[in-house]
A and B are shown apart, each in its own frame.
Chain A
Amino acid sequence: MADSAVTSEDGQDGEETRRDFLLISTVSVGAVGAALAAWPFIDLMNPSKDVLALASTELDLSGIEVGQAITAIWRGKPIFIRRRTASEVDAAKNVKLAELKDPQSDADRVQKPEWLVLIGICTHLGCIPVGNKSGQTKGEFGGWFCPCHGSHYDTSGRIRKGPAPRNFEIPPYKFLSDTTLFIG
């Protein structure tokens, strides 16, 4: 009421200011409300609690001989686990980093030199490379070969030849014991 007393006579300007204030505050409150209401819509599409509960995998490695590999599933993706031979480990260690497309030393890619754990998805366009089963071609570098567009990976899962831009990704994992692997 005090405001209207000030602007009562020909207070067109004052009236406009009051109206502007109301408009701006209404729109602001509405915008904040809309933003807050948007969050549940966004979050509903995120992984739900039951999906997150299945987001880790535990594996028993005791049956894998030296030179063998298995494919496990973690978060719907193939995980390559290869128990490398001494010569494969040496081959991986002896590569000069300068020769690599995505330079990374073998020591940075494993926790125990014998065990190589990778997400088995080609970094080119998402195919699953071959070379994990006995009898499959392992590519020119003794690791894996992606039949989709011809990418070759070495015994450390690094890209050596072909269109893929990066090495195989390493999932987060830890050894719970000598023969138990926890991924996730």
Chain B
Amino acid sequence: MATPTWNNPVIKWVDDRLPIFTFVQHSAIDYPTPKNLNYWWNFGSLAGVILVIMIATGIFLSFNYTAHVDMAFDSVERIMRDVNYGWMFRYIHMNGGTMFFLIIYIHIFRGMYYGSYKAPRELLWIIGVFIFLAMMATAFVGYVLPWGQMSFWGATVITNLFSVIPFVGNDIVTWLWGGFSVDNPTLNRFFSLHYLLPFIIFALVFLHLWALHTHKSNNPLGIEVKGDQDELPFHPYYTIKDLYGLGVFMIFFMGVTFFAPNFFGEPENYLPANPMVTPAAIVPEWYFLPYYAILRATPDNFVDAWGILPVIIDAKTSGVILMFASILLLCLLPWLDRSKVRSATFRPIYKQLYWIFLADCLVLGWIGANPPEGMMLLIGRIATFWYFFHLLILLPLVPYWEKTKELPESISAAVTANGEGSKETSS
């Protein structure tokens, strides 16, 4: 990749001192990209766009928001009724959270299908998991800010998760609250954190992109780029593809924002927070439902049903451990999956397991939306078991008996050569 020469004297002067134009040229214009990327590769740039939308609308919402228990709810209602375009900013920000998670889940499952987390992109994947965690934290503290009933009780329930930490659990919860219940100090710090965390996400996104640009994008075939014939410059080929996807996505996003803005929301949150009355059912936003199902799946003492261990792990503790483990385990995915073949296209068994795992996550989401009783509880336990069985047992063992399909010679060979019928080879 040749260093570009600049004709404009101002650009040349700046670039000599700070090669920012060369950097952009290399990483956004000439940037070599596998030429076979499909539309599932749009979701990274979409996530970047929605992050910017969230930060922009969030900053403008904060101009009119008051982080005080007596005024927060009313200040949000004032944004809805009196502030110019306030309703629009709030609905964009509210549904933007939903869109962000939708995009990120698709982005994660794309990575799982095509094995994007495998060497040499393990760190890229792990940074992604941390972005996901930071997003969850941001969404959680942000949901508390309108100070409705779900805000208050969601904050109470989730902060209470930390009480399972041995010995100091209750002290940690008090420390998180800055008091003896969720109250004004909690709301103040949550507002501060909700403003801070997106910028941490932004910084993590830069690391994510840095790691991405070091080994470049994976692709639907999951094979290495062999040379120039396998690549296209990012601009105009992928800028236009990303823009097209952005257009389609915006139709959906704006459609929801303008025509069904409360579709994903919880009506209960339009009641002001009342520390004396808990709502009949506390349900998180849809994007937390699978984890909520895992949290409530375990019975008392399920690790040690025979009473051998000296400690008793109650349902609360094991639920919290499993919930955090379900996310943190994703960091180990590059090592849990022992197959050298990346793309599920060439892994007949993994491909089926992938779809079962995806369905399992959807089932967990459905269970999370329902009270944990009867069949719901049983199904929730089976789905929770499968989640961990897939990650911890199936992924490491399947490669030992899976016969993978023959990989194409190269990305261009896959479309130019006449298929001779793929030969089966053992991994």
Contacts and interface: CB of A to CB of B under 8 A. Distances in A.
Interface stretch (B79-87, B99-107, B310-318, B391-399): B79-87
Contact of B83 (A23, A26, A41, A48): A48
A40 B85 contact: yes
Contacts of B167: none
Interface residues of A, number: 12
Given A26-B243, A40-B89, A44-B86, A49 B81 contact: yes
Interface string A28-52: 0000000000001101111011110
B56 interface: yes
B261 to A, nearest CB: 15
Given A26-B243, A41-B56, A50 B86 contact: no
Interface in B5-24: none
B88 A40 contact: yes
Interface in A1-40: 23, 26, 40
Contacts of B236: 23
Interface in A126-182: none
B161 to A, nearest CB: 36
A46 B84 contact: yes
B60 A48 contact: no
A49 B243 contact: no
Best-buried of A23, A26, A46, A48 by chain B (most CB within 10 Å): A48
Given A40-B85, A48-B83, A50-B81, 18 more contacts: A26-B243, A40-B84, A40-B88, A43-B84, A43-B85, A44-B63, A44-B64, A44-B83, A44-B85, A44-B86, A44-B89, A48-B78, A48-B84, A48-B86, A49-B81, A49-B82, A49-B83, A51-B82
20 contacts: A26-B243, A41-B56, A43-B84, A44-B60, A44-B64, A44-B83, A44-B84, A44-B85, A44-B86, A44-B89, A45-B60, A46-B84, A48-B64, A48-B78, A48-B82, A48-B83, A48-B84, A48-B86, A49-B82, A50-B78
Interface of B: 56, 60, 63-64, 78, 81-86, 88-89, 236, 240, 243
Interface of A: 23, 26, 40-41, 43-46, 48-51
